[in-house]
Amino acid sequence: MTENQKSSHLRQLKNQLIRLQDYGIDEIPCNNSLNSSSLPTRSSSPEKTTSPNSNKAVIQTLAQVREELGDCDRCRLCEGRKNIVFGSGNPEAQLVFVGEGPGADEDEQGLPFVGKAGKKLTEIIEKGIGLNRSEDTYICNIVKCRPPGNRNPEADEINACLPFLEKQLQAINPKVIVSLGKPATETLLGRKVAITKERGQWQEYRGIKVMPTFHPAYLLRSYTLENRKAVHEDMKKALAELNR
């Protein structure tokens, strides 16, 4: 095994352990000499309540989640990025959009959905259902750094970033999440998804309603009346749920 592979495996293992800690698991049963002091520590783990009745992780604010993410090097996507694209919008939004990962424009500006697909998304939000993008929504991605050449993020990259998406969603606690495209929907639902079949059908992520729809970049590539209508219908369902 090369040094690079070793450090990549160690990074993945560390991230898995951090995720377990996030779920309140502080120990892993082990029958050899490894003890808990050998486990990686995290410099800024979520504060735990001191109450003896509860060892649940305290919900962090978005700012705390961003601080914990830091100058992230948890996966190889850090190597080619210019900026981390954490998310933007209203931290108290009732509606959150989750996309796939930053593209070149987003990487340049450090903001999600600011390129062509972003303009389309703004149009879908503002002209389509009459909301204001920055006031009424929060927008983020499953990975916070640009995959080279805009390829799909790989499983280990998604896994490294997932705790931060989870904490963002916990902090915002929206009424509705709109997942944009297959990778975002699969990540939130934790299973394979046929987006053309499942878009428009309500799903659930940790008690929050999820409306899967086409990614705006797909819409731009396949700009048919049928696809545009489909996204509009999905957005109307999301709006109706918000107004319920």
- Per CB under 6 A, residues contacting ligand URA are 99-103, 106, 112-113, 117-118, 141, 217
Give me the least distance between CB of 234 and ligand URA, in Å please: 16
Nearer to ligand URA, 54 or 150 (CB): 150
Residue at shortest CB range from ligand URA: 99
The token pair that represents 100 in the structure block: 């796939």
21, 146, 166 from 171: Cα distances, Å: 18, 23, 9
When the beta carbons of 131 and 219 are compared against ligand URA, the nearer one is 219
Contacts of 144 (CB under 8 A, 6+ apart): 69, 72, 84, 85, 86, 101, 102, 161, 164
Picking from 134, 81, 137, the residue whose alpha carbon sits closest to that of residue 104 is 81
To ligand URA, the closest distance from the beta carbon of 176 in angstroms equals 18
Which amino acid makes up residue 240? Answer: A
* CB nearer to ligand URA: pick between 99 and 174: 99
Neighbours of 142 (CB within 10 A): 24
Per-position DSSP letters for 119-185, written without gaps between them: HHHHHIIIIIH---HHHHEEEEESSSSPPGGGPPPPHHHHHHHHHHHHHHHHHH--SEEEEESHHHH
Cβ of residue 241: shortest distance to ligand URA, in angstroms? Answer: 22
The residue (of 60 and 141) whose beta carbon lies closer to ligand URA is 141
**Cα 55–chain centre separation:** 25
Q: Which is nearer to ligand URA, 109 or 173 (CB)?
A: 109
